[in-house]
Each structure stands twice: as C-alpha cells, then as structure tokens.
C-alpha cells in the first residue's frame, strides 16, 4: 500500500523567512496530493492540493511542487507570519475512488518573532 | 450547510469498557474516513467507506476496533474492551465520490481511557 514520508518533523523559521516541507510517496499510481494545516486544538483543513498533471501550483504565499519521477512533493510558504504556526500534513491518494488518503506524520512549524 | 459532525466531543471511559463514537458526514458525501491522532502525533488511518463498496479496514489496529456505516450516511466506530493506549483524538472526514476532491474533517472525539 501507499506510504508517505514527511520531513522535517519540526521546523522553526524567523518571521518573514520561507519554510519548506518535503514529502515522498511510494505508490507511482498516486495522482492527488493535498496539504492540510492543523492549528492547535482544531481540525485539519485543506490549504492547497496538486494533481499529477501539473508540476507546480501557487496560491498567494503558498506553493506546492510535484516531481512524479522522483515521487517527491513539497510545500513552500514564503514571507511567513505568526499565523502560519501549525502542524502541516501532506497526503497522497491514487486515482481510483475506492482508494483512501494516506497522510504523512506531520511537520510542526514554529514561526519565531 | 453543516459540516462533518462528531459526537461526543469528549469521552472518558474506564479501561475494559466499550465505547461508540459517531460521525455524521456532510450530506451527499459518499466517502467517509476514520483516523486516529495520538497526542502530538500524525493522522493514523483506521478505516475507509466509499459508497456501496466493501470498506477498507486495513488500518484497524486490532479486532477490538470495528466500524459500520448505515444507509451510506452516519458511521459509528466501536472500540471494545478499551485500553489506555486507545486514548487519542478520533477524527472523521468525508468527501464527495468524485476522485481527487477535498476531504472535510470533523472536530474529533477526544477519548480518554482511565
């Protein structure tokens, strides 16, 4: 089955700097890669997703890149702000609707003042 | 419209007791997931329902865990003979049947086994 590895487990960056979180997946049939943000005590919420037919997607300060050959995808947050502090989860899913979403173990991002 | 609703929000139970956790998905969502999140940890997949297909139970950690989904809507996760290591937040999520669509999470049930 699918396995998603996520690094780093914890990341601290100065406010205003960029943050990068990296994930790898094992199943070459996976073609949907969402990213979720979970603030303390709250439920995970989707912040951006990418499908395998594109290599990059951007939404304001957030971007995701996908390298299908390497089975690697990354989340980039630019000009980080205090409200970016949270746990971020990457995930992967195959194209068959009977397949489940598998999450990485999460990255705890701290934005330092 | 209402989001994914889970009940109870918090549950404290004695070791060895059975518990039932409920999930009401968003209306029209045929896909339903259960995940477990231990304190400070990731999202551990438990079980996945999709329409009338047989559920994917590959993530259930032991035979003390079971889940059902009645009428393609409400789902119940049952844990029998609870153990202290079962203490965690149990999250339910639902999505549309279409491939590659967002999964919406409920607020979770915090289970504490004492």
Q: How confident is the model at residue B72, as a pLDDT?
A: 78
Are residues A24 and A33 in contact, defined by beta-carbon separation less than 8 angstroms?
no
Q: How confident is the model at residue A97, as a pLDDT?
A: 61
Of B98, B99, B105, the CB nearest to A43: B105
Q: B102 and A105 in contact by Cβ < 8 A?
A: no
Q: A100 and B45 in contact by Cβ < 8 A?
A: yes
CA distances from B32 to A10, A42, A78 (A): 30, 19, 33
Task: Count A/B contacts: CB-CB distance under 8 Å.
Answer: 54
B31 touches A: beta carbon within 8 Å = yes
pLDDT above 80 for B97: no
A92 touches B: beta carbon within 8 Å = no
CB burial of residue A89 (10 Å; 0-12, 13-18, 19+): buried
Q: How far apart are CA A46 and CA A44, in angstroms?
A: 7
B18/chain A closest Cα distance in angstroms: 25
Number of Cβ within 10 Å of residue B22's Cβ equals 15
Are residues B71 and B52 in contact, defined by beta-carbon separation less than 8 angstroms?
no
A1 touches B: beta carbon within 8 Å = yes
Of A44, A97, A102, the CB nearest to B99: A97
Per-residue pLDDT, averaged over A5-24, amounts to 97
Please, which residues bridge with residue A5 across strands?
Answer: A24
Q: How far apart are CA B51 and CA B53, in angstroms?
A: 6
Output B106 or B41, whichever has higher pLDDT: B106
Q: How confident is the model at residue B88, as a pLDDT?
A: 97
Q: What is the pLDDT of residues A67-102, one digit of tens each?
A: 999 999 999 999 999 999 999 999 998 876 667 889
Token couple for A45 = 């919420």
Q: What is the pLDDT of residues A28-38, one digit of tens each?
A: 989 999 999 99
Query: Tokens 């003979």 correspond to what residue?
Result: B81
Q: Which helix (H) or strand (E) holds B112?
A: strand B109-113
- Virtual CA dihedral for A21, A27, A28, A29, nearest 10 degrees? -110
Q: How confident is the model at residue B8, as a pLDDT?
A: 98
What average pLDDT does the structure give for chain B? 93
Number of Cβ within 10 Å of residue A113's Cβ equals 5
Tell me which chain A residues have a C-beta less than 8 angstroms from the C-beta of B105: 43-45
Q: What is the pLDDT of residues B2-55, one digit of tens each?
A: 899 999 999 999 999 999 999 999 998 989 999 999 987 889 999 999 888 889
Q: How confident is the model at residue B56, as a pLDDT?
A: 92
pLDDT above 70 for B64: yes
Task: Return the minimum-mean-pLDDT range out of A50-54, A59-63, A89-93.
Answer: A50-54
From A42, which residue of chain B is nearest by alpha-carbon distance? Answer: B107
A39/chain B closest Cα distance in angstroms: 12
């Amino acid at each position: 089955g699918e396995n998603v590895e996520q690094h780093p487990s914890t990341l601290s960056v100065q406010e205003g700097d960029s943050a990068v979180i990296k994930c790898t997946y094992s199943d070459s049939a996976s073609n949907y890669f969402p990213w979720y943000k979970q603030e303390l005590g709250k439920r995970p919420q989707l912040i951006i997703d990418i499908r395998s037919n594109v290599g990059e997607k951007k939404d304001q300060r957030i971007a995701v890149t996908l390298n299908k050959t390497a089975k690697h995808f990354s989340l980039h947050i630019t000009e980080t702000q205090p409200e970016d502090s949270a746990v971020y989860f990457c995930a992967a899913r195959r194209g068959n609707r009977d397949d489940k979403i598998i999450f990485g173990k999460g990255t705890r991002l701290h934005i330092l003042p | 419209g209402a989001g994914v609703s889970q009940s109870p929000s918090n549950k404290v139970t004695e070791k060895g007791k059975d518990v039932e956790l409920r999930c009401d998905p968003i209306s029209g969502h045929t896909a339903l997931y259960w995940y477990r999140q231990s304190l400070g940890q990731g999202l551990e997949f438990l079980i996945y329902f999709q329409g009338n297909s047989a559920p994917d139970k590959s993530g259930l950690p032991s035979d003390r865990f079971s889940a059902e989904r009645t009428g393609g809507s409400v789902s119940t996760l049952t844990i029998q003979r609870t153990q202290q290591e079962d203490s965690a937040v149990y999250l339910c999520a639902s999505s549309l049947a279409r491939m590659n669509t967002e999964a919406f999470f409920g607020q979770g049930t915090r289970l504490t086994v004492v």
